[in-house]
Structure 1
């Protein structure tokens, strides 16, 4: 069996943000642990955010499809992996791939959630740029098709 000290060293060495939240009531999921990578990712220190609801990371930006999926996962006690937009302490947005899993404590039935968070901002921005370029390409192709159709009609008229 792995000892608690080694487990703590491993979690602290992770490059991905790791949080543990405790289910409190119907809506609140209170942060009870964050690792150093989470602090680096968000700009918040553990002292600033422990014992707060995790939703502060979305600021006022809670109308995201991923958030509804996460809510349902928390309600059902399952697990999910979603990409959502969060905000750092300085207000800058970042895209976060959140892997969320439920942990039940058999002794007292308390439910906890562990979240592993990875900054995927670069990948999301690249995907958005590719989509933008594809849309521009489709527009150019439509314009070329229209020009070719016009040229074809002109040749018939000659």
Structure 2
């Protein structure tokens, strides 16, 4: 789902870049040819700094308005902001409904077994098998198994 949203955002960015292409085309890179000098050896355009050591001079023209109106830009920007907020919401690890945790019965003198935490880079079935083996004595306590499984995850696998 996150991948699909990222693809849609990428398409929207490509669309906006396509619409901005005429404005970007107004920027020209000029290779030095024959320099046009005035009487004192300065460029005719006194506003341009002299670039003696640089092989290239960059001339930037004032950007021309593109075909999108301000309201269209605002709408596109609002859509992108909304998508970004949706993506950030997907990564929020804070549970909203804590009622499931009240049903978990912790055994007396419970100590969490130690095992290697899963980070998403190895084979997930191997991690599940290892988790089940370490938690064998609690296999009949399904809510406990479910709640403690998240403590066996780290990094991207936890999200």
> TM class, shorter-chain normalised?
under 0.3
Q: Higher strand proportion, which one?
A: 1
TM-score (norm: length of structure 2):
0.23
Please say which structure displays the higher CA radius of gyration. 2
TM-score (norm: length of structure 1):
0.23
